[in-house]
C-alpha cells in the first residue's frame, strides 16, 4: 500500500507531465489557427477580437429588439385593496365591471408633477402569489434534481480529511 507522501509525489509528477503535454498541444493548435488565418485572410475583427468585439460580418444582421418598457404611472386605485392600474392593457377584475371608472381615479395622477411620486406608494401588505411562469420554471428545476447521497470520498481524500481532523 502506498503512503500519503508517495501519492502526493505521484500527483505532482503527473501534474508536471500534464502541463508539458498541454504546452505541446497548444503549440500545435496555435500553428493550425495561424495557417487558417493566413489561408482565409481573417482579421482580429473577423474573429471578434477587435476593440468593439463585433465582427463586420454581423453588421448586416438586424439589431435585437429593445427591452420592454416599464409600466407607467398608476391612474386608478382599488379603494378596498389598494391595488393600482395604469389604464393600459387588460383591466383588472376590480375595475372591469365598473360603469364609471372615474370613481377609481387617483387624484394625484391628474395633478401634475407630484403625480409620479405619490403614485409610487407601496401597495397594501398582501402576499403575492407566484406567476404560472415562475411555477413552471421551479417545477422544471425540481425534475432534473437528483436526491441521491453525496458521492463517496476517494481514499486520498479520506486520508487527507482524517489527517486534518487530528
Domain residue ranges in the chain: 4-55, 70-123
pLDDT tens digits, 22-81? 999 999 999 999 998 989 888 888 888 866 545 455 555 666 676 666 667 888 888 888
pTM over 0.75: no
Exposed / middle / buried, residue 84 (Cβ in 10 Å: 0-12, 13-18, 19+): buried
Exposed / middle / buried, residue 77 (Cβ in 10 Å: 0-12, 13-18, 19+): buried
Amino acid at each position: 500500500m502506498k503512503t500519503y507522501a508517495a501519492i502526493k509525489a505521484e500527483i505532482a509528477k503527473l501534474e508536471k507531465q500534464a502541463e508539458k503535454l498541454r504546452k505541446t498541444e497548444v503549440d500545435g493548435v496555435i500553428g493550425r489557427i495561424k495557417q487558417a488565418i493566413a489561408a482565409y485572410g481573417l482579421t482580429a475583427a473577423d474573429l471578434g477580437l477587435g476593440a468593439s468585439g463585433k465582427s463586420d460580418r454581423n453588421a448586416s444582421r438586424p439589431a435585437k429588439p429593445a427591452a420592454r418598457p416599464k409600466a407607467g404611472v398608476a391612474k386608478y386605485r382599488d379603494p378596498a385593496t389598494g391595488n393600482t392600474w395604469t389604464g393600459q392593457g387588460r383591466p383588472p377584475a376590480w375595475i372591469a365591471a365598473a360603469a364609471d371608472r372615474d370613481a377609481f381615479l387617483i387624484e394625484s395622477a391628474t395633478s401634475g408633477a407630484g403625480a409620479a411620486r405619490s403614485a409610487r406608494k407601496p401597495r397594501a401588505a398582501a402576499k403575492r402569489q407566484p406567476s404560472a411562469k415562475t411555477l413552471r420554471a421551479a417545477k422544471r428545476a425540481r425534475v432534473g434534481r437528483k436526491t441521491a447521497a453525496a458521492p463517496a470520498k476517494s481514499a486520498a481524500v479520506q486520508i487527507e480529511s482524517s489527517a486534518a481532523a487530528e
